[in-house]
Amino acid sequence: MIVGIEVGGTFTDLVMANADGSLTVHKLPSTPSDPSVAAVDGLEALLKSTNSEAQGVAELLHGSTIAANALIQRRGAATVLLTTRGFRDVLFIQRQDKSTVYDMFYSKPEPLLTRDCIYEVEERLGADGGVVTPLNEESASDLIYRIVEEHTPESIAICLLHAYANPAHEQQLAKMIATRYPEIRVSLSSDIAPEHREYERTSTAVIDAYIGPAVDRYLARFGERTADVGIPGTPLIMQSNGGVVPLSTARRRAANMFVSGPAAAVTAAAEVAQREGVQDVISIDIGGTSCDVCLITGGQPQTTVKGTSEFSVDGLPLNVVMTDIVTIGAGGGSIARLDPGGMLQVGPESAGAAPGPACYNKGGEKFTLTDAMLLLGLLDATTPLPGDIVLRPDLSEKAAQELCDVFDLRPVDLAERVYRIAIANMAQAVRRVSVQRGFDPRAYALLPCGGAGPLIAAALAAEVGMNTILVPPHPGIFSALGLAVADIRIDYVRADGAIRLGDLTEAELLERVDDLTGRAEAEYAELGYAASDLTLDFSVDARYVGQGYELRVPFEPDEIADGPDRLVARFHELHQRQYGHSFLKSSVEAISFRLTARLPRGSVLSAPAADGDPAIGSERTISLLGDAASYKTYNRDELPNGFSAAGPAVIVESTTSMPIPPGWHFEIRPGGAVIVTRSDA
């Protein structure tokens, strides 16, 4: 058996993949005070409901929001930063945020550390890694002693100038701390983000140090509790890059866990899309708190390593490999409110798991998107949600009254406006990952997941102009499914500063490939995996001379047998596609060489097919974008392969529902996915 556990802000999702290919799912409310409680409670409930023994679990995989929560809530460890003399203010100088140039009320992100927690070390390296000023170990030892006496830090971040080219000084400082104060966690920029750009590297090292103790304690506690349940072996933990690593590795790499849950959903989305023969999809994962959107082109999710404001957490750059996800505060729990100008807005504030939407009857008093969907008929009040939550339309109407009085509306009319605003916000997120990057969303299929994803899919597709929706099996617990199919993955980078790509010889290129390959094989060997089982994907970050941003250029080792010409030509092609122009006579610089080393795992993404003709359940009235109609109800578990029907209809399953409006029709695919298309497309 394989078990995946994904902890979200509102619900915790579990899936069990059995040896016969069948899947068992379970969903329960999250426990924000200690996410491991819901995770382990759900695990025990899942085992009990299937009469399974814990010893029969061959693999346990886990994704959590613990890293993001620790940073966003600013509940990290007492942290100190050691940096090169003269660079104490890097975290405060920051970079210009070009995305906010028209924001009259903009304020810079607040650094995690105050200036009195940043100390300068007497040392200096050159850009080539050569020692300009040796590290004074006696002075550094005295400084470390003073830091511990004054701050008693849990964690120390070390980021020295040009340490990506030569980590020796950082490693010397780390050894001194470990020898004298082994209880203090140390985060080295040369380990976490060994690349140039001082601000982003410093920010990443500080983030890792700041959240590291909380992540380490949580994962240790999760491992202990699952062991107490009787689960054998070491759990695998999801990372932001869409792959998993053993728990012991994840404990050392806290900065790699920020979007582990959303990344798992994207991994599953890519798997489903490839299996269904749909290479280009836009996945949209809508849960109780957020909406996560990712562009998948040619079957591969986009990833990023840019530590800019666009790829940041709480405004702070994070320079690690991450699935390129755009996240907005728009989920089922998003609260409807008035902005300072008196305009109706939805989100980013969320009711979360506690108290939750008003209709949950858990003390919530704010009108949310879930309340709106209940009043519009998208949710069925007669069907409890996971966790035995009985929906109360009367409480939704009560919560709506304050805003209804402001706009002189009926509750159902307010619900219509809230739903439309949420759709508009999500459509903008879809355009950010597609139109703003040179891709036409109309050429893509929309893949909705999360508990609220299918509820919103048809309206969102219509808003963006998309004609196809690919609804995967078990969309309501899709992140947990993504855990079960994720490869073991570790990313490696070799920073070269800025060298002319066209001047590199075949031997120099192969030396970089061999260096990255050797590092990957050595680390996987330590984890007990054979090098022969690895899949290796190489790329180079390149740019034109004078540019301040790079494009990632993939390549195979045999493509560099004749030198760098093919890499240079491919860069020109990618630049032309991305930006609409290229400079064929300009020199190209290589900034970093990268390797993604994967250990493939099998797929469990399927749903059993039903036999016979499906029964049509009771009809219910749904108001979708101003048009009220009577929708036929189908139980997804009863729909056989090849079955098709036209809207208006609603497909109901245990963790979500999918309304099919008039003008659309759906078909059940052999693998359990549902293809929804416009009738006139």
Domain boundaries, the chain: 2-71+216-257, 76-211, 488-599, 620-678
3-state class (DSSP) for residue 71: helix
What is the fold of 488-599?
A: Dna Ligase; domain 1 (3.30.1490)
Please tell me the distance from the alpha carbon of residue 226 to that of residue 633, in angstroms, as a whole number: 39
Q: Compare 8 and 518 and report the one with higher pLDDT.
A: 518
pLDDT surpasses 90 at 496: no
pLDDT for 549? 87
pLDDT for 307? 47
Residue with tokens 């390959």: 517
Which has the closest alpha carbon to 374: 639, 675, 622, 103? Answer: 622
Q: Provide the β-strand partners of residue 492.
A: 595
pLDDT tens for 506-555 read 999 999 999 999 999 999 999 999 999 999 999 999 999 999 889 999 99
Helix residue ranges per DSSP H, 230-297: 247-252, 260-275
pLDDT tens for 464-476 read 999 999 999 889 8
Q: Provide the β-strand partners of residue 553.
A: 540
pLDDT for 311? 58
pLDDT for 309? 43
pLDDT tens for 22-69 read 788 888 888 888 888 999 999 999 999 889 999 999 999 999 888 887
pLDDT for 615? 59
pLDDT for 308? 47
Please tell me the distance from the alpha carbon of residue 381 to that of residue 394, in angstroms, as a whole number: 10
Please tell me the distance from the alpha carbon of residue 648 to that of residue 660, in angstroms, as a whole number: 5
pLDDT for 628? 85
336 token code pair: 């409807």
Instruction: Kindly write down the DSSP assignment for every residue of 137-158, as one continuous string.
Output: HHHHHHHHHHHHHHH--SEEEE
pLDDT for 206? 97
Question: What is the identity of the amino acid at 305?
Answer: V
pLDDT tens for 255-286 read 999 888 889 999 999 999 988 999 899 999 99
pLDDT for 160? 98
Contacts of 224 (CB under 8 A, 6+ apart): none
Mean pLDDT of 79-95: 95
Instruction: Kindly write down the DSSP assignment for every residue of 454-467, as one continuous string.
Output: HHHHHHHHHHHT--
pLDDT for 354? 75
3-state class (DSSP) for residue 282: strand
Most confident of 17-31, 84-98, 143-157, 377-391: 143-157
Task: Give the percent of the chain with pLDDT over 70.
Answer: 96
CATH 3.30.70.141 applies to domain 2-71+216-257 = no
- pLDDT interval class at 494 (50, 70, 90): very high
pLDDT tens for 150-180 read 999 999 999 999 999 999 999 999 999 999 9
Average pLDDT score over the chain: 90
CB of 491 closer than 8 Å to CB of 241? yes
Query: For domain 76-211, which CATH number applies: 2.60.40, 3.40.50, 1.10.3470, 3.80.10?
Result: 3.40.50
184 token code pair: 């203090």
pLDDT for 22? 79
Cα separation of the two ends of the chain: 42
Question: What is the identity of the amino acid at 655?
Answer: T
Mean pLDDT of 646-658: 90
pLDDT tens for 439-472 read 899 999 999 998 899 999 999 999 999 999 999 9
Which has the closest alpha carbon to 62: 7, 1, 2? Answer: 7
pLDDT tens for 562-615 read 889 999 999 999 999 888 899 999 999 999 999 999 999 866 655 555 555 665
Mean pLDDT of 301-311: 63
pLDDT tens for 181-233 read 999 999 999 999 999 899 999 999 999 999 999 999 999 999 999 999 999 98
Q: Provide the β-strand partners of residue 322.
A: 304
Please tell me the distance from the alpha carbon of residue 188 to that of residue 348, in angstroms, as a whole number: 34
pLDDT for 328? 85
Task: Give the percent of the chain with pLDDT over 90.
Answer: 66
Question: What is the identity of the amino acid at 515?
Answer: D
